[in-house]
Chain A
Amino acid sequence: MNTIYKHFLLIIGVLVLSLTSCEDFLDREPLDQVGPNQFLSSESDLASFPINYYSSLFSTHGGWSTGIGRLDDHTDNQATSNPNLGLYEPGNRLVPQNGDLGFGNIRAFNFFLQEVLPKRTDNALSGNTLMIDHYIGEVYMLRAMAYFDRLKTYGDFPIVTTVLPDQEEILVAAAERKPRNLVARQIISDLDSAILLMQNGVSNKTRLTKDAALLAKSRVALYEASFLNYHRGTPRVPGEAGWPGASMSYNSGFSINLDSEIDWFLDQAMDAAKQVADKIELTANSGVLNPPSRAEFAGWNPYFDMFSSRDMGKFDEILFWRQYDLSLSITHGVTIYIERGANTGLTKGFVDGFLMKNGLPIYAQGSEYKGDTFITDLKENRDERLQLFLFDEDDPVHIKSDSAIFTAPLIINLQEVRDVTGYRSRKFMNYDPSEAPGSDLTATAGSPIFRAAEAYLNYIEASYMKKGTIDAVADRYWRALRTRAGVDADYNKTITATDMSIEALGDWGAYSGGTLVDPTLYNIRRERRNEYLSEGIRYDDLIRWRAMDQVKNYIIEGFNLWDEAYKNSIYTDPKPGEVTSAGLVDDGSSDANVSSRDLSKYLRPYQILNSSTNTIFNGYNWSEANYLAPIPFRQMQLASPDGTADNSNLYQNPYWPAQPNAKAER
């Protein structure tokens, strides 16, 4: 038995020994993860960071739609089947109970800069220093874009440039809203850093470029200058009467000279825009308006190709774009939706605003305008941008077979493939038959994001706002744009012939603050509207111009249906399955599929159903509160030292109550 006990003693001894090392036994860090200290130290580490945030900051093609071609929906340019009631039915939009202020990306960029900048100072980053700087510059630019988005949404906004800890007092203090001009200055400062650090032409411009940063700078500066200018006198502008920031103790030292502030932003906009526009020529327009044959699906007009090429890097005018690849399953459905209709359409007001090739508005004497009985009529002798980017009855809808002609708008199709107004945009169309062989997400045309034409436009507008005249540089730019559009370059001819009362009917941009602007400024805005057809800048422009005060019972109209178009056999004898409703019904009943011919000869997409349930029947009505978004109520409470919305550092925007689920005051 003695030996047995010895064995036990041995076992117990082993146990006791093992316990002395038990802390080591329990120390177990992850085996396949790295911490921030080990990462973000080489050129390739840095490259991997900003690229991850591109798709959350730049709108591009994707999914079952015409992608960025839908971004202008819910403006005076473009409409979809279901109106945006939040914007245009007063009382519909409510102060959200919950919501996020959108600091996710900002924190990420602050984190990156906080980790990387000291390593840059210490030369602790490995790799090509030019590229290291470029990637740091990208992050500066991304932070600027993230802030610009917040500036547009909320106006005054907290500026946070460090990584905040999860401590309530610090967060409440950090939530102080900075006056919007200071937010814009912060953005411009970030963009200046980006411009300093970045290169051009990296990865065929699928990564951000220095030129893109310059363009962004001109955009932000122009946005802020025009917002301060046109919203002057409203509580949306810091220092003005009723500005809610005035009552905040943290703003006690704030003062602003609005005129010099606007001038400063205009100077910034002009300077940045000029650097881009002087350097980059516009892509040529060959004047060929349709593919000459089925074999030549591309190359017949570089200006048309620029919006739908699979390689957009070859166009100087494109400063930044997104690439797609079928084999990597990075695709979109733009081409197929342009072929079939995409539950959107351009408005009559927009189409009517395009000039004749001779530079005259359509209503002007001697304009040679042919009327709009058919779309082919209205396109005759018009601005070639309209001719290129608006489908008419005879345009090929695809060139997979000979007979594929647009014929007539699919206004009574299934909603998701309906021509809502009858005017279908052709911008972003790629006629390559391999783009959309069936009905799948196989399209791989690139998605343009920044192009240099905007720099031309930004300069013209900024310089005119600053000087009140078209200077020599602006003159040169404007002529270049009109020449490319196939329009008589003499803009003075247009200005002279412009009748603002007529333009006001179909163009909200004719107004600022409810009054008509002068014809020169109006024509600058018209140029912008026409050049950027369906590219998603319209809503921002309308906001900064304060161009919606006058929007009262504004009826959205489409093409001329009831003169001749309604007789087309596509409506009277539809092929089974292609069009789901047999024929046009315009009686206003729940069976109706087009607006009544008694209301207007033009299709009115929001007057099809005439019943009390159709709250937008009488048109769009703008609420002034919508120039800025309401701050989510819960966020006000969380940013308050005592938890009450009333004492919050995050004050509510003008005309929005500091209450959840409350309607705007005006």
Chain B
Amino acid sequence: MKKCKQLGYRSFVTLILSFFALTISAQTVTVSGNITDDTGFEVIGATVIVEGDATRGTVTDIDGNYTLTDVPASGNLQISYVGMRTQVVPVNGRTTIDIVLATDTELLDEVVVVGYGTQKKVNVTGSVSAIDSKSLESRPVQNVSQALQGVIPGLNLTQSSGVGGTLDSQMSINIRGAGTIGSGSNSSPLILIDGVEGNINAINPADIESISVLKDAASSSIYGARAAFGVILVTTKSGKSGKPSISYQANIRFSDANQVPKMLDSYRFAQYFNEAAINSGQGAIFSEEALQNILDYQAYQNGTFTGELTDRNRDAVMYGTTAGSNNRWLLYGGANANTDWFAEMYRDWVPSQEHNMSVSGGSDKITYLISGNFLDQNGLIRHGKDNFNRYSINGKISAELADWVTLNYSSRWVREEYSRPSYMTGLFFHNIARRWPTNPVIDPNGHYHEGNEILQMRDGGVDKSEKDYLYQQLQFVFEPVKDWYIRAEGNYNTINRFNHWDVLPIYGYDTNNQPFAAPWQGGDAGKSNIYEGATKDNFASVNVYSDYTFSLADAHTFTVMGGTNIDLMKTRNLGGSKQDLITPLVPTLNTATNPTPSISGGYGHWANLGFFSRLNYNYKEKYLFEANVRRDGSSRFVGDKRWGTFPSFSVGWNMAHEDFFAPLADKISMFKLRASWGQLGNMNTSSWYPFFLSMPVSSSAGNWLVDGRKPNISSAPGIVSSLMTWETIQSWNLGLDWNSLNGRFTGAFDVFNRTTKDMIGPAPELSSILGTGVPRVNNADMESYGWELEVNWRDMIQDFSYGVKLVLSDDQQRITRYPNDTYSLSTWYNGRMNGEIWGYTTEGIAKSDAEMQAHLENNRPVWRSNWAAGDVMYKDLNGDGVVNNGANTLDDHGDMTIIGNSIPRYKFGVTLDAAWKGIDLRVFFQGVGKRDYMLGGPYFWGASGGMWQSTAFEEHWDFFRDEDNPLGANLDAYYPRPLFSGEGKNQYTQTRYLQNAAYLRLKNIQLGYTLPSSIVNKAGMQNVRFYISGDNLLTLSEITGVFDPELLGGDWGNGKLYPLSKVISVGLNINF
């Protein structure tokens, strides 16, 4: 009865209040109050708004007070502040509302993924950087690594030097700089996707939940011999219990070549080539008549041709070419068109698209996530087509089978398809610049002119590859006792690659409009060829490990972990090629008729076995300690070289938890000093069987025909060293993490030193009487040292929130032991810095022969002769009157000095973001603060080598011309006089032409708008965002205009590669 009464009373009050509320629902009140945090301090600048209406809001003043008018008496106030948990308080007609905001413990409870587990960020003692999925969102990138560049300090991503921006190119990745000199071993980081080795580029960026980078030995040593140079841990998204959540993302993008050279117009080109030929003692290449033809053609194109068209000049004037004696249209010196071959070969603003969809949800016991991705990326190639497609389906399911055991299963399938013209190799990029602007694109009969690459690209066959990645993971997690976990997981990855490549015959047309078979690449006119190849990788990995966490006296917390890891990789491959297709329409092995196919097939394998354990200890999260040890055995080493043991230790001290820190405790919640030391081995030898002496044998591969056939060939094997063993990597790291102003200002700073001991170096230099390469041995040491800084600022001014993130890192490498007793400069020596550039000092370009003669008196180079006006004046630095490199040793380096360093320094990324009323803006700059580079070859020099290897771009027109030069004097030219011979006498590595390759690049800028939820909710959606995003839109660099500062290499020489793209994209994200 009593109970009933009480209920009645309450119901009554509620009823009354409800009634009251209804009656005043249209009323507004003015609310004021004071906001403090849970330690009693006033919160300044907290945002107070009427929930659901961001236009009505205010901020607390210096005493934490606020006043807000026109508040609906029945509404809610929403109070938010950085680092505090947002609160929503019903007004209920009150006019004074004081609020205590609680610290957002999520920030302090933030965990990061570490080796075989997770750790609270505040307790991490190694050097670990992590990002979440936000950094990857809405970037129109093709793969994950493109989005990671400049985001994590110490994680260096650079364009691979060989191929440039081709759709299948993958950036090269290292952590904290080069770890080896790359002769016989490599220092790539270990990339684990959900704990299993995988390809970071073959994963849909939208599936990624977070990425952790383990940089020092202490954090990576748990992975042993594969993790000597750091680990990248990719964690994919999992399902969350709750009602199904569906999301869809679409993106349309337009790509354009970021940086391609511009050729000189044909008239200036011809004059440039004449100049180079004459300077080299050869006759002019273009006669007066040829030059006139060039002008006539240009005039005709502009409609200003006033001459007479005759049989003799008609083709030249109208079409830019002339019939040659063998019924072929002439090119080069016999042609006079005006083509910029770079503009001809690339398309502008090529469209591509990407779509993502995911569904997730679940109950208390079972959660699931399914996601899919489709990318259709088109390349820039105009003639022919290059295209990249990716399809992926990812599924994850987690089921709690009992209180003490959970089953996780995930499967991820990714298909990549890439196709390009078979001709689109380094040779193509080499050749574009070798086609003279005088060559016409179209012959007078309207056909594409033979000999300009267009036919090969269009009709000469395609190279297609299809890769299927299937990753499967089955995991049991047992928890027999609270906080004792045992995890047993099996992983099986299979990667299938099929490659198809064909060469199809191409046809030019002669002057009688008759087709003729044209050479594809040399003496293969009319030939067809087909190659099919397949490889399969099977990678099995088993991890069994267990950890147990317990506390003593509520102060000492221990976690112990131990386990084992077994990896087995098996590969196989098959390939075959056959010539003479029945028809180019059916390019298959079955339809090729040549009786002698070329076939190959083989197998490979390696295995690794490791045992590891870890101990974590902390005292009240104030003093932290961690120790790891791992023992690894590798199939790549034999005998007593096989096994290695690798320990590491790290300590941390979170000063913010000390009593003496109390006065600052409200400002700084974490101030943690870290120190670590560890030792690791590197099993990543280039060869899987460095101990095996193999007989080089190839079938039907000889180029000396025997009985009309290619014979089998074999040759003498080199020498292998059975002494090869582990490289030992030792590193120490000092760090500081802080979290202050309630999470507004956070950051980390690390200093490191990493030594690679007993590195596999280029073999010791021995007399060439040996007759073969000297085997590499573990005979060198190097160190990499540097620092990293990450600073975050995040704040909110009313409903305008913004953030700044800066990452900055630097690393340098120095050789500390190397078997080079003479300190020869042609190889490494003890003390040599990685990337060191030795070169001559340039006095300038001689403006007259007299100036050159006077200069030569005391500064005569030992190479070449014929020094004249317009040549480079090299400086004699050691006063011996001649310019040379002495004995080319460190002691006697003649007039060479270290003039620069090609290693990128001060790599940085700056992210600025802001959001206001549903509008968001993100700007991301990335760059390199310091870098020198010496470029060579025709892209840099123009005339370089003989006539057929030279080219001429706009930049090259700035070459030396004396006062008498009919083209006009250019005494202050950048480039010396062009030469076709002279073995590059002006092109030695020197100060004048050393490039400053530092750059600042606007990597990404994006502007988004999220529709108000009031609108989207009506449509049954949770969230709708539109955005426009641009990549690589702006670059600041002092480097010569021919080059992209990120693309200085090239398989066939500097600059001869596929350009990077700038991309503009528009996209839509919807969540249901």
What residues of chain A have their CB less than 8 Å away from a CB belonging to chain B? 1, 4-5, 8, 11, 15, 18, 22-23, 25-36, 38-40, 44-45, 47-49, 51-55, 81-82, 92, 94, 97-108, 110-112, 158, 160, 164-166, 168, 171-172, 174-175, 203-204, 206-207, 322-331, 333, 412, 414-416, 438-442, 575-578, 580-582, 585, 590-593, 608-609, 611-615, 633-635, 637-639, 643, 650, 660-661
Q: List chain B residues, Cβ under 8 A from A592.
A: 283
Q: List chain B residues, Cβ under 8 A from A171.
A: 766-767, 769-770
What's the minimum C-beta distance from B716 to chain A, rounded to whole angstroms?
Answer: 4
B771, A103: Cβ atoms closer than 8 Å: yes
Q: Let me know if B604 is at the binding interface, CB within 8 A.
A: yes
Given known contacts A638-B768, A639-B767, A612 and B866 CB-to-CB distance under 8 angstroms: yes
A323, B334: Cβ atoms closer than 8 Å: no
Which of the residues B312, B334, B692 comes within 8 Å of A30, measured between beta carbons? B692
B705, A166: Cβ atoms closer than 8 Å: no
Q: List chain B residues, Cβ under 8 A from A5.
A: 480
Given known contacts A32-B604, A48-B697, A204 and B702 CB-to-CB distance under 8 angstroms: no
A15, B544: Cβ atoms closer than 8 Å: yes
Given known contacts A107-B771, A327-B579, A329-B524, A206 and B706 CB-to-CB distance under 8 angstroms: yes
Q: Let me know if B527 is at the binding interface, CB within 8 A.
A: yes
Bound Cα distance from A158 to B283, whole angstroms: 47
Q: List chain B residues, Cβ under 8 A from A164.
A: 769-771
Given known contacts A107-B770, A643-B822, A52 and B715 CB-to-CB distance under 8 angstroms: yes
Identify the 10 closest CB pairs spanning chains A and B, nearest first.
A107-B771, A577-B334, A441-B523, A32-B602, A103-B771, A31-B603, A613-B866, A108-B716, A593-B283, A52-B713
Q: List chain B residues, Cβ under 8 A from A329.
A: 523-524, 527
What's the minimum C-beta distance from A422 to chain B, rounded to whole angstroms?
Answer: 15
Given known contacts A49-B715, A438-B328, A577-B322, A4 and B770 CB-to-CB distance under 8 angstroms: no
Q: List chain A residues, Cβ under 8 A from B694.
A: 30, 33-35
Q: Which A residue's beta carbon lies closest to that of B821?
A: A643
Binary A-proximity of B734-749 (CB < 8 A = 1, otherwise 0): 0000000000000000
What's the minimum C-beta distance from A206 to chain B, rounded to whole angstroms?
Answer: 6
A8, B486: Cβ atoms closer than 8 Å: yes
B862, A324: Cβ atoms closer than 8 Å: no
Most chain A CB inside 10 Å of its own CB: which residue of B284, B602, B606, B765:
B284
Q: List chain B residues, Cβ under 8 A from A40.
A: 695, 714
Bound Cα distance from A585 to B821, whole angstroms: 57
B404, A328: Cβ atoms closer than 8 Å: no
Q: Let me know if B366 is at the binding interface, CB within 8 A.
A: no
Bound Cα distance from A120 to B977, whole angstroms: 64
Which of the residues A103, A110, A160, A414 comes within 8 Å of B333, measured between beta carbons? A414
Which of the residues A31, A35, A99, A585 comes within 8 Å of B695, measured between beta carbons? A35
Q: List chain A residues, Cβ under 8 A from B335.
A: 577
Question: What total of chain B residues lie within 8 Å of the partner, measured CB to CB?
Answer: 107
Q: Let me know if B564 is at the binding interface, CB within 8 A.
A: yes
Which of the residues B283, B765, B775, B866 comes within 8 Å of A638, measured between beta carbons? B765
Q: Let me know if B488 is at the binding interface, CB within 8 A.
A: yes
Bound Cα distance from A560 to B694, whole angstroms: 61
Q: Let me know if B990 is at the binding interface, CB within 8 A.
A: no
Q: Which B residue's beta carbon lies closest to that of A615?
A: B865
What's the minimum C-beta distance from B75 to chain A, rounded to whole angstroms?
Answer: 54
10 other A-B residue contacts (CB within 8 Å) besides A48-B712, A111-B716, A608-B283? A4-B480, A28-B606, A325-B705, A442-B523, A591-B283, A609-B281, A634-B824, A638-B766, A638-B767, A643-B821
Q: List chain B residues, Cβ under 8 A from A614.
A: 281, 866
Bound Cα distance from A661 to B895, whole angstroms: 14
B284, A591: Cβ atoms closer than 8 Å: yes
B770, A576: Cβ atoms closer than 8 Å: no
Q: List chain A residues, Cβ under 8 A from B865.
A: 92, 613, 615
Q: Let me know if B1036 is at the binding interface, CB within 8 A.
A: no
Q: Let me know if B111 is at the binding interface, CB within 8 A.
A: no
Q: Which A residue's beta carbon lies closest to that of B331?
A: A577
Bound Cα distance from A333 to B608, whole angstroms: 53
Q: Which B residue's beta carbon lies closest to that of A108?
A: B716
Q: Let me know if B693 is at the binding interface, CB within 8 A.
A: yes
User: What are 12 A-B contacts defined by CB distance under 8 Å?
Assistant: A25-B607, A33-B689, A55-B704, A166-B766, A206-B704, A324-B705, A440-B524, A442-B523, A578-B334, A580-B283, A580-B333, A580-B334
Bound Cα distance from A328 to B824, whole angstroms: 45
Given known contacts A591-B284, A613-B866, A39 and B768 CB-to-CB distance under 8 angstroms: no
Bound Cα distance from A582 to B274, whole angstroms: 14
B768, A26: Cβ atoms closer than 8 Å: no
A52, B714: Cβ atoms closer than 8 Å: yes
A591, B287: Cβ atoms closer than 8 Å: no
Q: Let me know if B101 is at the binding interface, CB within 8 A.
A: no
A166, B719: Cβ atoms closer than 8 Å: yes
B695, A328: Cβ atoms closer than 8 Å: no
Q: List chain B residues, Cβ under 8 A from A52.
A: 702, 704, 713-715
Q: List chain B residues, Cβ under 8 A from A97.
A: 826, 885, 887-888
A206, B707: Cβ atoms closer than 8 Å: yes
Q: List chain A residues, Cβ under 8 A from B325.
A: 575, 578
Most chain B CB inside 10 Å of its own CB: which residue of A38, A49, A158, A585:
A49
Q: List chain A residues, Cβ under 8 A from B393.
A: none
A635, B767: Cβ atoms closer than 8 Å: yes
A204, B707: Cβ atoms closer than 8 Å: yes
Given known contacts A26-B642, A441-B519, A48 and B717 CB-to-CB distance under 8 angstroms: no
Q: List chain A residues, Cβ under 8 A from B316.
A: 576
Q: Which of B14-22, B288-296, B465-473 contacts A (4 or more CB under 8 A)?
A: B288-296
Q: Which B residue's beta carbon lies closest to that of A55?
A: B704
Given known contacts A32-B602, A204-B707, A325-B708, A100 and B695 CB-to-CB distance under 8 angstroms: no
Given known contacts A11-B544, A614-B281, A206 and B714 CB-to-CB distance under 8 angstroms: no
Given known contacts A172-B767, A415-B282, A612-B866, A35 and B714 CB-to-CB distance under 8 angstroms: no
Which of the residues A27, A39, A438 comes within 8 Å of B635, measured between beta carbons? A27
B281, A166: Cβ atoms closer than 8 Å: no
A55, B703: Cβ atoms closer than 8 Å: yes
Which of the residues B286, B486, B763, B981 comes within 8 Å of A82, measured between beta carbons? B981
Q: Let me know if B382 is at the binding interface, CB within 8 A.
A: no
A582, B289: Cβ atoms closer than 8 Å: yes
Which residues of B, 310-356, contact A by the 8 Å Cβ criterion? Answer: 312, 316, 322, 324-326, 328, 330, 333-335
What's the minimum C-beta distance from B198 to chain A, rounded to whole angstroms?
Answer: 22
Q: Which B residue's beta carbon lies closest to that of A28?
A: B635
Which of the residues B705, B714, B766 comes within 8 Å of A330, measured between beta carbons? B705
What's the minimum C-beta distance from B644 to chain A, rounded to whole angstroms?
Answer: 12
What's the minimum C-beta distance from A442 to chain B, rounded to whole angstroms?
Answer: 5
Q: Let me know if B942 is at the binding interface, CB within 8 A.
A: no
Bound Cα distance from A26 to B567, whole angstroms: 10
A26, B519: Cβ atoms closer than 8 Å: no
What's the minimum C-beta distance from B718 to chain A, rounded to whole angstroms?
Answer: 9
Which of the residues B527, B769, B826 comes within 8 Å of A174, measured between beta carbons? B769
What's the minimum C-beta distance from B573 to chain A, rounded to whole angstroms?
Answer: 9
Given known contacts A33-B694, A45-B714, A47-B711, A590 and B822 CB-to-CB distance under 8 angstroms: no
Given known contacts A34-B695, A414-B285, A440-B519, A576 and B702 CB-to-CB distance under 8 angstroms: no
Bound Cα distance from A92 to B775, whole angstroms: 36
Q: Let me know if B174 is at the binding interface, CB within 8 A.
A: no
Bound Cα distance from A440 to B704, whole angstroms: 20
Binary A-proximity of B446-490 (CB < 8 A = 1, otherwise 0): 000000000000000000000000000000001010000010100
B768, A101: Cβ atoms closer than 8 Å: yes
Given known contacts A55-B704, A166-B770, A635-B768, A576 and B714 CB-to-CB distance under 8 angstroms: no
Q: List chain B residues, Cβ under 8 A from A112.
A: 716
A51, B287: Cβ atoms closer than 8 Å: no
What's the minimum C-beta distance from B825 to chain A, rounded to whole angstroms?
Answer: 10
Binary A-proximity of B787-824 (CB < 8 A = 1, otherwise 0): 00000000000000000000000000000000001101
Binary A-proximity of B253-288 (CB < 8 A = 1, otherwise 0): 000000000000000000000000011011111111
Q: Let me know if B774 is at the binding interface, CB within 8 A.
A: yes
